[in-house]
Amino acid sequence: MKMGNYSAMTEFFLVGLSQYPELQLFLFMLCLIMYVIILLGNSLLIIISILDSRLHTPMYFFLGNLSFLDICYTSSSIPPMLIIFRSETKSISFIGCALQMVVSLGLGSTECVLLAVMAYDRYVAICNPLRYPIIMNRVLYVHMAAWSWIIGCLNSLVQTALTMILPFCGNNVIDHLTCEILALLKLICSDISMNVLIMTVASIVLLVIPLLLILISYVFILSSILRINSAEGRKKAFSTCSAHLTVVILFYGSALFMYMKPKSKDTKASDEIIGLSYGVVTPMLNPIIYSLRNKEVKEAVKKVLSRYLHL
């Protein structure tokens, strides 16, 4: 394809799951309800972590970052997706597609690093409880959160730029619900070996290595918990870790399926359903999981709600 044709590419058409028109209204309502739950649940977690002084700890600082990240991530993808579900044309501008990809990829990459940071925080809290306030001081945990955002954003900027500067083959139909990088790469008619190499390296650095660090952390955490003599102490330690571990399983399970499995020629419906789980279901479940599995969060929620309901 000539560069002149590439410069004329001004929009894309998102046709993911369009082969199931009877599902469009159902998916619209389902995603809308989930989005409202995501906004309310994650906003509530951020508010209580700010208002309740008992939650002014590294763990809840990271949790507040995770909630803010989930709000931003879903806000970059769900509203355009809702428009696509109800639109006849199902189009998105070239710039809009690039922005959606850079935001979603950046925030997804940030979450990978942030979950590993949260695992390290739990490791220090349980395996070195006496030194925890010294090790996880404010300077360290703020820097750890900041670098999570920086690494994720840099990865996204590099991958998005290297994708969008390549020539497309005239086909501007994306077989996906959002401007997802894997679906977009299928439309490029030049050599994408460099893109694949960078994506593979990024997947190893941002998916596999953080996951290994999380697993190693939990091996030490589990070993320390089993050595706790008090049954109440073991229960409390398990409760603080089980919520994070559940979120890790949900997030990394869908992410590894999307980015590390062997790629077939065509995008399958199963890939798009997993994409919905990765981009919608997991952010919705995060605040629910942390609320149900954490006594401090439940008490803080009751305290904040009772304060404002009696105003």
User: What is the pLDDT, as a whole number, of residue 2?
Assistant: 43
Two structure tokens written together for 171: 């086909």
Q: What is the CA radius of gyration of the chain?
A: 21
Cβ 304 vs Cβ 52: under 8 Å: yes
Rounded Cα–Cα distance for residues 293 and 276 (Å): 24
**For a pLDDT cut of 70, what percent of the chain falls above it?**
86
User: Nearest Cα to 299, choosing from 36, 51, 61?
Assistant: 51
Cβ 120 vs Cβ 163: under 8 Å: no
User: What is the pLDDT, as a whole number, of residue 4?
Assistant: 43
pLDDT tens string 60-73: 899 999 999 999 99
Mean pLDDT within 25-52: 89
- Most confident stretch, 130-144, 157-171, 249-263: 130-144
- Quick check: 299 pLDDT over 80? no
More confident site: 219 or 245: 219
User: What is the pLDDT, as a whole number, of residue 273?
Assistant: 67
Residue 275 φ then ψ, to 5°: -60, -40
- Output b/e per residue, 172-210; b: 16+ Cβ within 10 A: bebbbbbbbbebbbbbbeeebeebeebbeebbeebbeeb
Mean pLDDT within 37-65: 89
- Point out the least confidently predicted range of 15-29, 104-118, 145-159: 15-29
pLDDT tens string 183-199: 888 888 888 889 899 98
User: What is the pLDDT, as a whole number, of residue 7?
Assistant: 46
Average of per-residue pLDDT values in the chain: 82
Q: Got the DSSP string for 157-193? A: HHHHHHHHTSPB-S--EESSSS--HHHHHTTB-S--H
